């Protein structure tokens, strides 16, 4: 194998390792949550609890706020929607 091919292979391997470790850095040992899309409507009535999680956009995941719902599911909401801003502000005050 030539030095040029070996160098390119090592470079590509290094890039793959860096990308993989960057994606799992936030939550070592588990897959971080992902929202491929956000809900369009006001879902305030379905949200339970006083906590939420902010998610940054990455790969195929969009920027979102995750709420827990009455039926035990997680709801991906648009952080720029007014109802989401109102609900998260209310949760922060508690």
Per-residue pLDDT tens listing for the chain (94 residues): 687 765 565 555 555 444 444 444 444 566 678 999 999 899 999 999 999 999 999 989 999 999 999 999 999 999 999 999 999 999 999 7
H-type helices in 25-81, by residue range? none
This prediction has a pTM of 0.64
Helix (H, G, I), strand (E, B) or coil at 44: helix
Sole residue written with tokens 């890039």? 15
Q: Residues for the chain: how many in total?
A: 94
Count of CA atoms in the C-beta half-sphere (13 A) of 77? 27
In whole angstroms, give the CA distance from residue 5 to residue 63: 39
């Amino acid at each position: 194998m030539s030095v040029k091919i070996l160098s390119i292979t090592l470079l590509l391997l290094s890039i793959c390792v860096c990308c993989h470790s960057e994606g799992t850095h936030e939550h070592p040992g588990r897959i971080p949550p992902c929202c491929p899309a956000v809900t369009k409507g006001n879902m305030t009535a379905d949200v339970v609890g006083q906590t939420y999680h902010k998610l940054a956009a990455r790969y195929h995941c969009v920027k979102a706020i995750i709420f827990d719902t009455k039926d035990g599911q997680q709801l991906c909401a648009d952080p720029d929607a007014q109802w989401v801003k109102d609900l998260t502000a209310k949760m922060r005050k508690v």
